[in-house]
Amino acid sequence: MTVTIGVIGSGNFGRQLIKAFHETGLCRIKGIAARTPSKHRDMTEKYGAVITDNYTELLRDNSIDAISVCGPLELQAAMVEEALAAGKHVLMEKPLAATMDDALRIKAAADASDKLAMVGFIERFNPALLRIKALLRQDHLGKVFRLSIKRGSRLSERTPWMWEVGMYVHILGHNIDILRWFLDDEVEHVYSESDGFMRPNRKETDNICCMLRFRNGAIAVMEDSWTLSPKMPMEENDCRLDLIGEKGNLSTNMLSQMTSLCCEDKGWFYPSVLRWPGGLDEDGGVVSYALKDECAYFLRAVRDRKLPPLSSVGSALENLRVAMACRKSSEEGRRVHMSEIEGAGHV
């Protein structure tokens, strides 16, 4: 079965998604919704897709099985609700929503539908992180009690919606999802500090430090920055992860994919892959193409409903709750317990 898909959104990431879906060989891209169809005629030639400026045309097309939602974040809740109501399977992008109200709308729509609803947390397809998850299952580290994750990127004139949504909602979700996924556990309380150092007049947060305590006792630290040198290549962005457990410790670079592990049974070893390429530019190769892998998983899950969404709406909602707790902690200068945040009980 070849899945017929429609894609809402044709910005930079939307174009990457369209390319990734095409390269899976598992679907036909029937339609693409774009604000200015005239600028995207090349995609009709490349993929044979119809370009429209009205996404509801894709929802009314009975030949389309699934919808990929990659439109403006403030419209994501409405688009997902409409797509599920139209009987389409849906892949949506993280963050789930900018507000808890919109996140709960999406959760309600997903619960009411018998169609697949999956959230695109691409780090779950990062080869280095998949390898670490396997190593944790193999118990090389024993019980993990200390984790740190660091995600730094360049200072840049980001698109307005990214600054409007802010770092807590836009970027922290990646780290929270990785930590919850690795530990198979939920956050109990958080403490956070943040500030805007490079644009203080705009009151925009550009650096965050958070500490998370999990129910099983593990402590995690998250550091996020949007203020590395603008001259720094993406390959040199600071994205590291460290885990310490009862049997050993592990470190990895989430971009270069270099992983080292030291544990009781093996001593030092390097269970890693070389590189995580992908995107529109193929200069780095496409050996481990995480976005393509994410799209392929979604399409396989559409065909085989026994496959669960690798990152569910409920899990994405919990990531957003933790991010909201971290922001509340920073704003109020105190530790925040997860029971204080709306939306509990939806994992």
Name the token pair of 247: 């049997």
φ, ψ dihedrals at 101, nearest 5°? -60, -45
The pLDDT tens digits of the residues spanning 283-298 come to 443 445 788 899 999 9
* pLDDT in the model for residue 347: 57
Is the pLDDT at 38 greater than 90, yes or no? no
**CB-based burial label for 165 (10 Å; 0-12, 13-18, 19+):** middle
Q: Which tokens hold the place of 32?
A: 């693409």
Single-letter amino acid code for the residue at 297: Y
Higher pLDDT, 346 or 119: 119
Q: What digits encode the pLDDT tens for the residues 58-96?
A: 999 999 999 999 999 999 999 999 999 999 999 999 999
Average pLDDT over residues 191-215: 91
What is the 8-class DSSP label of residue 46?
A: H
pLDDT of residue 290: 85
pLDDT score for 153: 85
pLDDT computed for residue 345 by the predictor:
63
Structure tokens at 34: 């774009």
pLDDT classification of 273: cutoffs 50, 70, 90: low
Distance CA(97)–CA(342), nearest Å, equals 14
Residue range 252-265: mean pLDDT, rounded: 86
Say whether pLDDT at 140 is over 50.
yes
pLDDT band at 341 (very low <50, low <70, confident <90, very high): very high
- Which pLDDT belongs to residue 161? 72
d(CA 304, CA 301): 5
98-136 tens-digit pLDDT: 999 999 999 999 999 999 999 999 999 998 899 999 999
3-state secondary structure at position 183: helix
Name which of 29-33, 168-172, 334-338 the model is least confident about: 168-172
pTM: 0.91
Backbone angles phi, psi at 244, to 5 degrees: -125, 130
CB 74 within 8 A of CB 80: no
pLDDT at 164 over 90: no
